[in-house]
Amino acid sequence: MRASGVLMHLSSLPSPYGIGTMGRAAREFVDFLAAAGQRYWQILPICPTSYGDSPYQSFSTFAGNPYLIDLDLLAADGLLQREEYADIDWESTPDRVNYGALYRKRWEVLRKACGRLLQAPPAAYADFCAENAFWLPDYALFMALKDEHGGCAWTQWEPALRRRDPAALDAARTRCAGAIGFWQAVQYLFFAQWRALKHYANQKGVFIIGDLPIYVAADSVDVWSAPEAFQLGPDLLPTEVAGCPPDGFSATGQLWGNPLYNWDAMARNDYAWWVRRIRVLCSTYDVLRIDHFRGFAGYYAIPYGSTDACNGRWRTGPGIALFRAVENALGKRDIIAEDLGFLTDDVRELLRESGYPGMKVLEFAFDSRDGGDYLPHTYTRHCVVYTGTHDNEPVNGWFDTAPAADTRKAVDYLKLTREEGYHWGMMRAAWASVADLAIVQAQDLLGLGHEARMNVPSTLGTNWCWRVLSGAFDDALARKVRHHMELYGRLN
């Protein structure tokens, strides 16, 4: 079925409280998508952000990001008084998130709400804790211990806690009981709001595409609680870390720093860690995008301690055995493979064997720095086409920053005009293509440029901050988009 959607993270929604949340603005955006004939809302990972504020570097693969909890909804539930949060200076601007201010000020507000929740917890709270017992207690203890240690990484804790000595963990659970209760309550509040938002979207005929980052952060409960699943040395530090080799966009490559998986150990228990992870995320979202799919065929390993990615080497990944284990355990699920980057025959064969649709990026079709098989006349139906992803410029930003010869090729191939707008012409090409699913960035719908870019890979300090202004997604824009959906057979 031909369909379309919009890529925009929850954090990018308008809000008077510093960051987009799961409240009223999220529902208004769902209403816009439904009116515009969109079937999908694609978001970034909703897990807690850690160093660098990236949703791809999280303290937990299963937890939700407390910053995204809507404060007005907590007030409506009687867990906050409006004066406890409405007059706080969140030190942000309407178009930018200030993560430093959130880190300094959000937790005090959430502690008040969680304190009231725990005074008389509803039955649903005990049910939530029981249903998530496979990850929630470890996560809450991990976060409580991070608080106790001033936020430092678990690899800097005392040896007994680093190595999860049972006696040390028991003592910590007693000592940190109050903090553990808070971190569990925060997750209950997050997922109560998430389930309500997802239900609202589904009732409107809008389905959510979520994201599974291939790697987890080194400073995460995932690594601390299951070190045997990762390539760690006797000191529990990585032996090699993840990244990407040098390419047209970066002469020194990308040094992500995530620990690599111990695929041999994972194979011995039929990839149970991955089966559980994909099961949970497939129930969290309607469709799951698996990030960096090529890393399952072969992954780039960089010696731990390197200052760039130049000295890495390719190693063989688990291949189709992992995805067969997932399908045997879970059946067929709606999954998209992010098969971008340095593609080789083994990656193409893995995509074919998996049966998942891969991705096409229109900006890459014309960019000489990242050539690939992305021109629309090469597509098959079984794929997802994007104007650009969260790691790319919005279309107008790409035209301002790409080599002139590349932009001239795009204009000539797509017959773009200034009158229509290059961003509309690029979106029109995606919608008109044979791809079953077409996704455009919210920034492209709004005609924004470089100033609205979400992420520049391998940089820190200015990413993940963009927010849309209130009222930008209006009825006129919905009607215009809906007309294009009718024209190109993608109407929801």
Question: Would you please indicate which residues are annotated as catalytic (active-site) residues?
Answer: 291, 338, 391
Give the E-state strand segments of 16-173 in sequence order. 40-42
Name the token pair of 356. 């998942």
Give the E-state strand segments of 190-260 in sequence order. 207-212, 240-244, 254-259
How many other C-beta atoms are found inside a 10 Å radius of the C-beta of residue 463? 17
Contact 81, 73 (CB under 8 A): no
Residue with tokens 């309407």, as numbered in its chain: 94
Contact 489, 2 (CB under 8 A): yes
Distance separating alpha carbons of residues 286 and 335, to the nearest angstrom? 9
Contact 131, 184 (CB under 8 A): no
Distance separating alpha carbons of residues 204 and 168, to the nearest angstrom? 49
Residue with tokens 């496979």, as numbered in its chain: 134
Residue with tokens 């055995």, as numbered in its chain: 321
Under DSSP, the state recorded for 402 is S
Distance separating alpha carbons of residues 420 and 302, to the nearest angstrom? 46
CB-based contacts of 212, cutoff 8 Å, min separation 6: 45, 277, 278, 281, 288, 289, 290, 291
Q: Is 464 helix (H, G, I), strand (E, B) or coil?
A: coil
Distance separating alpha carbons of residues 210 and 292, to the nearest angstrom? 14
Name the token pair of 319. 């291949």
Contact 63, 478 (CB under 8 A): no
Separation in Å, CA 188 to CA 103, 166, 279: 20, 27, 19
Name the token pair of 341. 């980057």
CB-based contacts of 205, cutoff 8 Å, min separation 6: 34, 39, 492
Distance separating alpha carbons of residues 242 and 256, to the nearest angstrom? 6
Contact 442, 423 (CB under 8 A): no
CB-based contacts of 57, cutoff 8 Å, min separation 6: 49, 50, 51, 217, 258
